[in-house]
Structure 1
Amino acid sequence: MKDSQKEVWLKRKKLGRSRYLIMFGIVPWGIGAALLTTIIEFISFQSINSVWIPIRLLVFAFIGFFVANGRWMTMENRFEPPAPRRP
């Protein structure tokens, strides 16, 4: 891992896992992907079905949780490899 990546990870790790998941997973994925799909829907159909907006927010927030959790685990394993197992 490069020193710059290491510094960024240390700053993000100080936030704590829960806050990291919210700031780098749930909020950006939930809002960003829901907004993007709503824009695509508007461009394609020239209307927006408001019933789908909360569903999109929930689905993409759920996906964002798992993406951020995977990134957290990957960075932790890269930065701090797990302790060796005892026989």
Structure 2
Amino acid sequence: MSGMNEAQAAKWSRRRQMGKAKYVMYLGVAAWGFILTGLTTLSEWLTMGTYTPNWFFARLVVFSFIGFFVMNLRWENQERKFKERK
């Protein structure tokens, strides 16, 4: 894969200032966890007309873990591309 262009590098440079831990926690655990949990719970409510609190918390845990791993891999990939551009 190729590195980043200058616009992408500038955007990543600003984003990477938050650090890997905050990046993964905010965008992975919080964003992925809450957004996907909300969407699947809304889907459950719209299609079945019910809401199961136990499933809500199970989804929150599962989607947060998925978000953690996805954003961790994304950080590594973006860092590699950022360093390749130089």
Asked if these proteins are the same fold (TM beyond 0.5), I'd say: yes
Which amino acid counterpart does residue 37 of structure 2 have in structure 1?
A
**1:1-87 map, 5 Å:** 1-81=4-84
SS of 1:15's equivalent in the other structure is coil
Which amino acid counterpart does residue 19 of structure 2 have in structure 1?
G
Instruction: State the shift of 1:31 in Å.
Output: 0.2
User: What CA RMSD, in Å, does the superposition of the two structures yield over aligned residues?
Assistant: 0.9
SS of 2:52's equivalent in the other structure is coil
Residues in 1 aligned to 2:49 and 2:15: alpha-carbon distance in whole angstroms: 40
TM-score normalized by structure 2? 0.89
- Provide structure 1 residue ranges, at least 5 long, that are not aligned to the other structure: 82-87
Residues in 1 aligned to 2:45 and 2:72: alpha-carbon distance in whole angstroms: 31
TM-score normalized by structure 1? 0.88
Identity score, percent: 36
Residues in 2 aligned to 1:12 and 1:23: alpha-carbon distance in whole angstroms: 12
**Would you identify which runs of 4 or more consecutive aligned residues in structure 1 move more than 4 Å?**
none
Q: Which has the larger radius of gyration?
A: 1
Q: Which has the higher contact order (CA 8 A, sep 6+)?
A: 2
Residues in 2 aligned to 1:13 and 1:29: alpha-carbon distance in whole angstroms: 18
Q: Deviations over 1:24-57 (max 9, x none)?
A: 1111110000000001100111010111111111
